[in-house]
Structure 1
Amino acid sequence: MSGECENGPDEAGRIAAVRRYDVLDSPPDGAFERVTALAARLLDVPIAIVSIVDADRIWFKSHHGLDATQIDRSPGLCASAILHDGPWVLADASTDARALSNPLVAGEFGLRFYAGVPLTTHDGFNLGTLCVIDREPRETTDDQLATLADLAALVMDELELRLSSRKAVGLEAELRRAAEDMVATMRRNRKRMEGLERIQGRLLEHMPDGVVMWGGDGQIVAANPAAAALLGLSHGELLDPSSLAPLRARLLAQDGRRWKGATPPVVALHTGVSQRDQIVGVPNPPGGTRWLSMSSIAHRNREGTVDYVVTSLSDVTARHAAWLAVAGEHKEKRGRVQNILRTGAVKMVFQPIVALDTGRIFGAEALARFPGRRDKVPDAWFAEAADVNLGAELEVAAVRAALCELDRLPAETYLFVNVSPACVTSAELHRLLAGVPAGRVVLELTEHTLVPNYEELEQSLSDLRAGGVLVAVDDAGAGFASMQHILNLRPDVIKLDHALTHGIEEDPARRALVSALLKFGTEIGADILAEGVETEAQLASLRVLGVRYGQGYLLGEPTALPLPPSSSRGRLRPTRRGAGALRF
């Protein structure tokens, strides 16, 4: 939906609600990052966002799989999603009348799938959405939409919890200011001091969350009934010093183990450093363990010593259950990847790369295969490894397995191996390639996201090129990131994305773009290689355009070595960039 933003019946009230939660332009937060990461995994999409719709922009509190932090409100689909009370889904935005003119759909970004669930406040205002996005059309099941709605509810619970915490701190600050004013004049007016005590009692009595005030000696001087209930004690027990030691002995850390060391209020009392959002478990046999978020604020006197500490307590049992689920899933995934690395279970198959005019084999792309479920594609293994910070290690393992097969390839055949920019900069990859004959290996950059530091990547590639390694950029034409790689890295080979190859025989726009890339490749000294060649019509069109090399199921399926026989082999020839850089 493009053009002017649509507004609901009470847009002014909705904007006021956005301001009330005070979340706009706040720093990144792990709680929301985990929700978007979980949403992306559960719905199997590359992008998941927690968005807040402001008056003139859509700001992203969390943006898994996307580098942007905000967009204008007018092209944003989230601005349309908040007009609905339930999930708002575009299965294929390129054919949906509601989104045909949207620049995110019609433009370079290429959005095809969108599903968003509004983040609804307790008083009925939609602040924004939890949404998932893909550049490919897809269908969603009722269970998937229910999962997205549950995750959106978790996001809203977190926002409500933080609003409640801010109110508690604000009330405590108000109480402190009133107390200081009262103490300054109590010698002149005893009645005002009594009034302070009544105000304090009323504030503590009506706090929605638990509040405990600790004196400088570490003893509780005041607490509201909610705090006692959350800690599983009566109000009298909470104020009894003899109850604190048994309570501390029962506390659990976030991972379920016994709490070790000083509790957050004690740390704040002794160091003067506030402790925020510490997760503590309180075993409560009738209802299981209750999990609390504990924030302790230290207040100093004029001499700089801590006078007292105020601790707020909020029940986050539901949030902790979600954290445990994510942590358990993370542990399982890490174990699976570590087992692959430990056992060397990565196996490689090789897909021929051929000259389109003669069918002669010039190279082969090494493709990883993993044991286990057949429906778990290799990309899923690499994505899983990246999620547990083992992405580069698994990529290096695949390159190692491919290099072990290098001697089985014909001597004048190039071995293409897939690596991400993060892997290119790893010392282990450089050690692996140091012993490879010059001019035999082509590194194929596969990352589709922006590179934060091109200088580091360019230096790593320069070192590898000095040893005779060639560079290819994968998926040209698939988005901004691949084109940015081409402009910055000046590859030896540009691989056309399969989306350009599919339908090229019928689409003048695809043919025009391929022609432009062929001219561009000539200018920078790079060869063009078309991926995804699957039909004779595609092959004929690519030949007419002048594409010299191709890869796809029509030309050869991925297979174990040896490659099928070929009458002759091709060789790379030097480019204008110097004798150290080669090309086909």
Structure 2
Amino acid sequence: MPFMRDPRFKRASSHKRRQANRLASASTGWWLLVVVFIEAAVALSIRLPLAFGLPLWGGIDEQTGFPALLALLMVPLVVLAAWRLMRQQQRERNQAFRTSRLMDTVLHTSLDWLWATGPDGRFTFSSPACKDITGYEPFELLGKHITCVIDPGDLADARLEWKARESGDSSWSRVVTVCRHRDGRRVLIDVAGRPMRDRDGRDYGFEGTCRVLNPEAARSRAEVTRRIQELLTDGSLVTAFQPIRCLKTGSVVGAESLTRFSGSQEFSPEARFMEAASIGLDIELEILALRTALATAAGLPTGLYVAANLSPRVCLDPRLAAAITESTIPPRRIVLEVTERHEVGNYEPLAEALAPLRRAGLRIAVDDAGAGFASMRHILQLKPDLIKLDRGIIAGIDTDPAQRALGAAMVGFSSEIGAALVAEGIETEAELAAVTKLGMTAAQGYLLGRPSLRPEDWRTWG
């Protein structure tokens, strides 16, 4: 807190601590004097009669006198110890209460979102600031998987780069990535976190903080422009592919292209695209990413289709058709995944722009269905060949009856319109069994294959 960094506050706090220590020392000194006085009185009441040959008081003989003396001498010591223990416990309770009040104040006034997850990646704690960043109330996030608001791939990429730059520790800080807001917006965030460990040093989850980061606040506009211009000219874009498997046969039928940036990666890939959008160069960067992906796809087995993610704005750009026709990959092997998180005001120009490419064999997919603006209207207007269900619908579909019901409804709907249904983000055997039982067409996720930059991995998919 700012006021706690004020030197005057520190001096006042130090003075109060010294004053409290002096009072405690004085109080303990008086107690010691009382104890010494009592012990001296007890000792004299027993030792003086023995010295003058008189009988001990209370009928105590000489053989039992010394044990009685020791027992009596222990009484004030026990009283003093008990009193000091009670005082210590009271101080600790007061300190715990003050700390609890301070933490409660921080949680309810801080703009930083404090969170914690269990070992399964599901939220176990969320501070009120999550409402402004994610659109969810804290209680709505509890039990949900972290992938409902943060793409684990983006976070992992940024963490790996931070780890390489800073240290071998599994904690991280100043990691810039993208958060999915409840209304479909993409929010640039700065994340810090660390693993939670038990007494034996075993990890049992993560905890950390998160804050909104404006692209213009992250860097000056001039520096952002310079960085993006360098990306557009220096060839630092590379493409990783993630396999998409048929659920009936288990074979790989396609591969989604994922843009990566070689060199320093302070930002996650999606954060870089948002940075480019902040200066109006997002279309140029997406076109370059598409060209790079199609050129790299020459290393894939010829039987696989190549899926590339594009925003609706890029689909309206005439450079898109040129990028596809100039590629060595035939249109019949290309799937354009139009993300659902960007609102489309008028679908007619979008449909007209895509019509010639579709007639040439190119297929359209609605990406992240169920995660953003237009939902079913987006699907109805575009009439896609593939529908990709967002990870937010798939995560926990094996245990949530409502999610299973939605999945079953989407299976029926996609069958009626002749579209393949692809489940995104499969991470557990239970999720895979659930989507297979529902009758979904295909799936992708870390369980079925991680993104790879290695051509030797791609060749095994054929």
TM-score (norm 2): 0.54
Q: Which residue of the partner structure matches residue 182 of structure 2?
A: 135
Displacement of 1:384 in angstroms is 0.7
Q: Which of 430, 438, 448 in structure 2 is aligned with 1:555?
A: 448
CA distance in 2 between counterparts of 1:411 and 1:395 reads 24
Could you tell me whether the CA contact under 8 Å between 2:135 and 2:182 is conserved in 1? no
Q: How many matched pairs?
A: 280
Q: CA 1:477–1:133 in structure 2 vs 1: closer, same or farther (change >3 Å)?
A: closer
Q: Which residue of the partner structure matches residue 514 of structure 1?
A: 407
Q: Which of 252, 270, 276 in structure 2 is aligned with 1:361?
A: 252
Query: 1:465 aligned to 2:353?
Result: no
Q: Map residues 313-392 of structure 1 onto 2, 5 A cutoff.
A: 329-392=220-283
Q: Could you say what secondary structure the match of 2:336 adopts?
A: strand
Q: Could you say what secondary structure the match of 2:332 adopts?
A: coil
Q: CA 1:381–1:139 in structure 2 vs 1: closer, same or farther (change >3 Å)?
A: closer
CA distance in 2 between counterparts of 1:449 and 1:525 reads 24
Q: Which of 437, 460, 477 in structure 1 is aligned with 2:330?
A: 437
Q: Which of 503, 508, 523 in structure 1 is aligned with 2:396?
A: 503
Unaligned runs of at least 5 residues, structure 2: 1-110, 114-127, 142-147, 151-178, 193-207
Q: Which residue of the partner structure matches residue 294 of structure 2?
A: 403
Q: CA 1:554–1:519 in structure 2 vs 1: closer, same or farther (change >3 Å)?
A: same
Question: What amino acid is the match of 2:273?
Answer: F
Question: What amino acid is the match of 1:492?
Answer: D
Q: Map residues 19-98 of structure 1 onto 2, 5 A cutoff.
A: 90=131, 96=138
Question: What amino acid is the match of 2:260?
Answer: R
Q: CA 1:95–1:89 in structure 2 vs 1: closer, same or farther (change >3 Å)?
A: closer
Q: CA 1:438–1:140 in structure 2 vs 1: closer, same or farther (change >3 Å)?
A: closer
Q: Which of the pair has more CA radius of gyration?
A: 2
Displacement of 1:411 in angstroms is 1.5
Could you tell me whether the CA contact under 8 Å between 1:533 and 1:551 is conserved in 2? yes
Q: CA 1:567–1:144 in structure 2 vs 1: closer, same or farther (change >3 Å)?
A: closer
CA distance in 2 between counterparts of 1:420 and 1:367 reads 14
Deviation by residue 1:217-254 (Cα, 9 ceiling, x = unmatched)? xxxxxxxxxxxxxxxxxxxxxxxxxxxxxxxxxxxxxx
Displacement of 1:489 in angstroms is 0.3
Displacement of 1:567 in angstroms is 8.0
Q: Which residue of the partner structure matches residue 452 of structure 1?
A: 345
With a CA cutoff of 8 Å and minimum separation of 6, indicate the structure with the bigger relative contact order.
Answer: 2
CA distance in 1 between counterparts of 2:408 and 2:388 reads 13
Q: CA 1:373–1:328 in structure 2 vs 1: closer, same or farther (change >3 Å)?
A: closer
Displacement of 1:134 in angstroms is 3.3
Q: Which of 310, 314, 328 in structure 2 is aligned with 1:423?
A: 314
Could you tell me whether the CA contact under 8 Å between 2:131 and 2:137 is conserved in 1? no
CA distance in 2 between counterparts of 1:134 and 1:361 reads 32
Q: CA 1:430–1:378 in structure 2 vs 1: closer, same or farther (change >3 Å)?
A: same
Displacement of 1:401 in angstroms is 0.6
RMSD: 3.7
Deviation by residue 1:111-166 (Cα, 9 ceiling, x = unmatched)? 99xxxxxxxxxxxxxxxxxxx99339999999988x99xx9xxxxxxxxxxxxxxx
Displacement of 1:362 in angstroms is 0.2
Could you tell me whether the CA contact under 8 Å between 1:446 and 1:474 is conserved in 2? yes
Deviation by residue 1:481-539 (Cα, 9 ceiling, x = unmatched)? 24332110000000010111110110011111011111111111100000001111111
Unaligned runs of at least 5 residues, structure 1: 1-41, 45-86, 101-109, 113-131, 152-324, 569-584
Q: CA 1:329–1:487 in structure 2 vs 1: closer, same or farther (change >3 Å)?
A: same
TM-score (norm 1): 0.43
Question: What amino acid is the match of 2:395?
Answer: H
CA distance in 2 between counterparts of 1:492 and 1:419 reads 15
Q: Which residue of the partner structure matches residue 474 of structure 1?
A: 367
Q: CA 1:140–1:471 in structure 2 vs 1: closer, same or farther (change >3 Å)?
A: closer
Deviation by residue 1:547-582 (Cα, 9 ceiling, x = unmatched)? 1200011111111224455586xxxxxxxxxxxxxx
Q: Which residue of the partner structure matches residue 66 of structure 2?
A: none
Deviation by residue 1:317-359 (Cα, 9 ceiling, x = unmatched)? xxxxxxxx86971111111111010112110010001112322
CA distance in 1 between counterparts of 2:138 and 2:286 reads 39
Could you tell me whether the CA contact under 8 Å between 2:366 and 2:386 is conserved in 1? yes
Displacement of 1:480 in angstroms is 3.4
Q: Map residues 138-287 of structure 1 onto 2, 5 A cutoff.
A: none
Q: CA 1:389–1:432 in structure 2 vs 1: closer, same or farther (change >3 Å)?
A: same
Q: Could you say what secondary structure the match of 1:344 adopts?
A: coil
CA distance in 1 between counterparts of 2:217 and 2:136 reads 34
Could you tell me whether the CA contact under 8 Å between 2:340 and 2:371 is conserved in 1? no
Identity of aligned pairs, percent?
41
Q: Which of 285, 297, 301 in structure 2 is aligned with 1:394?
A: 285
Q: CA 1:144–1:427 in structure 2 vs 1: closer, same or farther (change >3 Å)?
A: same
CA distance in 2 between counterparts of 1:523 and 1:133 reads 30
Q: Which residue of the partner structure matches residue 160 of structure 2?
A: none
Could you tell me whether the CA contact under 8 Å between 1:408 and 1:562 is conserved in 2? no
Q: CA 1:441–1:89 in structure 2 vs 1: closer, same or farther (change >3 Å)?
A: closer
